[in-house]
Amino acid sequence: MISALVNPLRFMAFSRWAAPALGALAAALIVVGIALGAAAPPDYQQGETVRIMFVHVPAAWTAMFAYAALGSASFVFLVFRVALADAAARAAAPLGAGFTLMALITGSLWGRPMWGAWWVWDARLTSVLVLFLLFVGYLALRAAIEEEQRAARAGAILALVGLVNLPVIKFSVDWWNTLHQGESIFRAGGPTIAAVYLWPLFVMGAGFLAAFGALWLVRIRAEVWRRRAAGLALQAAADA
Amino acid sequence: MITALTGRDLAVKRGERLLFEGLDFDVRAGGAVVVTGPNGAGKTSLIRAVAGLIAPVQGRIGFHGPAGPIEPDEARRAGCHLIGHQDGLKGARAAREELLFWTRWTGGGAASAHRAAVLLGLERILPLEVRLLSAGQRRRLALARLIAAPRSLWLLDEPFVSLDGAARATLQEILRRHLEEGGMVFAASHEPLPVAAQILELGR
Amino acid sequence: MSAAGTLLARELRLVFARGGGPLLALGFFACVAAVLPLAVGPAPGKLALVAQGAAWTALALSMLLGLDRLFEPDLDDGALDLLALGPLPLAFVGAIKCLAQWLVNGAPLALAAPIVEVALGGPPRAAPMMLAAGALGSLAFAFVGGTGAALVVAARRGGLLIAVIVIPLIVPPVIFGGVAIDAYASGQPWAPALALLGAYALAAVALSPLAMGAACRNALG
């Protein structure tokens, strides 16, 4: 398993079947999650809009997971100099940015009927916004550095700095929010939530994670191919 | 104090391009190596690799003192001078400020900085801002570090560039004395060194 | 003089030489403070509501000025090569640079923060906390900002990229400082927020040099 994640040849053999398998799992879980979510009764407070949570919360979870994946891959790249780990980091970042964007948009859609505003500085939305900015910073830094190895290392250092900062950011935003906003808001995943909502939430969460995993593997494969192609082009130019 | 420098099976890449591989060299106290080769053969990269600024993709660079091997980072921090293409001088600062700073940073003092300035004929330009100096004067100011702070291994990338005849002679004399005192020189240069030097040819 | 002292003296002179030392940051700080009433309107009640927050935000942004010149000139003229061959590791060199950035820009901004806050119509009793949070916060901003600057230096002419990288990272100290100032002004317990700000600043001083050292190595190699 470990060597499958370090050795490009083994990885390509492993991901060849793992990516479609995860994709199929994701599709099945999301279909079941949507069915469960549609079957759940409307919330006595939120009405039908509670169903937006079944997309919003899993997207936010997956975005957090994507940053953890980006940070861990960066750590492996910096410490063990595994080229494949950099490909993994590079592949994870745009996906993470996509999931954070999905969480932001669905959060905003949910906020309009609930709070009467498209955007409210709620703790979860604010954390997700900062997470989005972290992804944007990572992508911008990598894009700004021309030489690939240099961009890879600078990106990895930034991802690690962000990973260390992320719990502090989460804590500070939650703390700031409780100080400024007395009323309690819908706490997804909290103990107060009814079981009818928990099941679709978890199934959708697992589905989103599987979807992230599948897309991640596909993107890593694409990155490995891109590097091979670039290497071959360089070789051809040298031979010519 | 570094008394020997060794390179074993070195390979260095820039970007995706392999510059050289399987390179070996040995320099002992009082010895010199001159790296030659066409443009793009990796002369500067080799010098920067010895200085620890570039990590070789393969092989190792070893530093040895009188008491055995020295940890490379430690050896570089205490025993290496580098004269590169860029001289590391700030245009807005006075030549004296820059000379004193780099002298202190590499372990010398005000007295030795003054001695170096005299030897290289820099006394008159010391009060001037670096941006007002000619290329040759800047080069001499950079070279003054070599004598201002005693360090045994000199890594020189084209040290004779932009020097006039008199300054060339002075630098040759400085190099000769450094080697006589048991120092080492590892240089990339089109100009022959004034001393018996091992030639390391890249890019064949 | 020790190597660290020699380097600090050089860095202080260099920070002073670009943009007249604290003048640029202070000028920017004052400009933001002057533009705000023009945008919000001059009604004292309206301005007073945001005075502390605006002064605090403007201070944080002012600390980003000059970061693009923290490492770049030394990389461009080869000085970073020579700094790497000195007695102190590059992580330490980065820390000294950030310390100089804090002494030259952070401390004057902290001194100016109470004035800006009062000028915008904020309560004068918040002034001591503006100063304290300004001093601690600018220390954190200098070190986290230095990390961003060291990362961007490999990109050459990073400029605004530093702000995009650094601002999400300085969310916690911005929050801690903002809460401390607000709590102090409204007579609520402010010590926890200030302690958190101090802890963050110390952690930034201790940890960001590691990232700066690695980032500088990367830019050189």
Q: What is the pLDDT of residues B122-153, one digit of tens each?
A: 999 999 999 999 999 999 999 999 999 999 99
What the block records as the tokens of B202 is 């890249």
Instruction: Report the side by side order of strands in the sheet with B153-157.
Output: B80-83, B153-157, B184-188, B32-36, B198-201
Q: Which residue of A78, A86, A149 is the best one to mutate when testing the B interface, meaning the one whose CB has the most B CBs within 10 A?
A: A149
Q: How confident is the model at residue A192 (pLDDT cuts 50, 70, 90)?
A: low
With CB atoms and an 8 Å threshold, state whether A136 touches C218: no
Residue B181 is predicted with a pLDDT of 93
* C13 contact B CB<8A: yes
Mean per-residue pLDDT of chain C? 92
C155 to chain A: which residues are within 8 Å by CB?
A: 141, 144-145, 154
What stretches of chain C show up as alpha helix (H) in DSSP?
3-17, 22-40, 44-62, 72-76, 79-84, 90-101, 107-119, 127-152, 161-169, 171-185, 191-220
Residue B119 is predicted with a pLDDT of 92
* C17 contact B CB<8A: yes
C178 to chain B nearest CA, in Å? 39
Q: Could you tell me which chains touch chain C, where touching means 3 or more CB pairs under 8 A? A: A, B
Residue B202 is predicted with a pLDDT of 85
B107 to chain C: which residues are within 8 Å by CB?
A: 87
| pLDDT digits 0-9 by tens, C114-131 | 999 999 988 999 999 999
* A173 contact C CB<8A: yes
Overall average pLDDT of the C190-201 stretch: 96
Pick from C161, C172, C215: which is nearest to A172 by CB? Answer: C172
B17 to chain A: which residues are within 8 Å by CB?
A: 234
Overall average pLDDT of the B46-53 stretch: 95
Nearest CA in chain B to A81: B57
Nearest CA in chain A to B13: A149
Over chain A, what HEC string results? CHHHHHCHHHHHHHHHHHHHHHHHHHHHHHHHHHHHHHHCCCECCCEHHHHHHHHHHHHHHHHHHHHHHHHHHHHHHHHHCCHHHHHHHHHHHHHHHHHHHHHHHHHHHHHHHHHCCCCCCCHHHHHHHHHHHHHHHHHHHHHHCCCHHHHHHHHHHHHHHHHHHHHHHHHHHHHHHHHHCCCCCCCCCCCCCCHHHHHHHHHHHHHHHHHHHHHHHHHHHHHHHHHHHHHHHHHHHHHC
| Least confident piece of the model among A23-32, A153-162, A226-235 | A226-235
B15 to chain A nearest CA, in Å? 7
Share of chain B above pLDDT 70, in %: 100
B55 to chain A: which residues are within 8 Å by CB?
A: none
Q: How confident is the model at residue C195 (pLDDT cuts 50, 70, 90)?
A: very high
Overall average pLDDT of the C47-56 stretch: 90
In A137-167, which positions are buried (b, 16+ CB within 10 angstroms) versus exposed (e)? bbbbbbebbebebbbbbbbbbbbbbbbebbe
A147 to chain B nearest CA, in Å? 7
Overall average pLDDT of the A20-49 stretch: 89
Mean per-residue pLDDT of chain A? 88
Q: Report whether pLDDT(C2) > 90.
A: no
Distance of CA C184 to the CA centre of its chain: 22
* B17 contact A CB<8A: yes
C176 to chain A nearest CA, in Å? 7
With CB atoms and an 8 Å threshold, state whether B15 touches A149: yes
| pLDDT digits 0-9 by tens, C130-175 | 999 999 999 999 999 999 999 999 887 777 899 999 999 999 999 9
Give the C-alpha separation, A201 to A212, whole Å. Answer: 16
Mean per-residue pLDDT of chain B? 91
Overall average pLDDT of the C66-80 stretch: 92
With CB atoms and an 8 Å threshold, state whether B82 touches C81: yes
Q: Report whether pLDDT(A186) > 50.
A: no
Give the C-alpha separation, B41 to B201, whole Å. Answer: 9
Residue B23 is predicted with a pLDDT of 92
Residue A4 is predicted with a pLDDT of 56
C77 to chain B: which residues are within 8 Å by CB?
A: 86-90
With CB atoms and an 8 Å threshold, state whether C82 touches B88: yes
Nearest CA in chain C to A160: C211
Q: Could you tell me which chains touch chain B, where touching means 3 or more CB pairs under 8 A? A: A, C
Q: Report whether pLDDT(A191) > 80.
A: no
Pick from A141, A171, A172: which is nearest to C152 by CB? Answer: A141
Residue B18 is predicted with a pLDDT of 87
Hunting for tokens 């005000």 — which residue is that? B110
Residue A189 is predicted with a pLDDT of 44
Q: Which residue of B12, B13, B16 is the best one to mutate when testing the A interface, meaning the one whose CB has the most A CBs within 10 A?
A: B16
Q: Which residue of A142, A161, A177, A181 is the best one to mutate when testing the C interface, meaning the one whose CB has the most C CBs within 10 A?
A: A161
With CB atoms and an 8 Å threshold, state whether C215 touches A154: yes
Q: CA of C60: how far to CAs of B55, C17, C120, C198, in Å?
A: 37, 22, 17, 15
| pLDDT digits 0-9 by tens, B79-128 | 999 999 999 999 989 999 999 999 999 999 999 999 999 999 999 999 99
- CA pseudo-torsion sign B40, B41, B42, B44: negative
Q: CA of A24: how far to CAs of A200, A201, A209, B15, in Å?
A: 18, 19, 12, 39
Overall average pLDDT of the A46-62 stretch: 88
Q: Which residue of B104, B139, B154 is the best one to mutate when testing the C interface, meaning the one whose CB has the most C CBs within 10 A?
A: B104
Q: Report whether pLDDT(C91) > 70.
A: yes
B15 to chain A: which residues are within 8 Å by CB?
A: 147-149
Residue A197 is predicted with a pLDDT of 81
Q: Report whether pLDDT(A202) > 60.
A: yes
Q: How confident is the model at residue A205 (pLDDT cuts 50, 70, 90)?
A: very high
Overall average pLDDT of the A213-231 stretch: 94
A174 to chain C: which residues are within 8 Å by CB?
A: none
| pLDDT digits 0-9 by tens, A105-124 | 999 998 888 888 888 888 88
A145 to chain B nearest CA, in Å? 12
With CB atoms and an 8 Å threshold, state whether A162 touches C176: no
Nearest CA in chain C to B99: C10
B54 to chain C: which residues are within 8 Å by CB?
A: 220-221
Highest mean pLDDT out of A194-208, B35-49, C190-204 = C190-204
Hunting for tokens 């570090």 — which residue is that? B145
With CB atoms and an 8 Å threshold, state whether A154 touches C154: yes
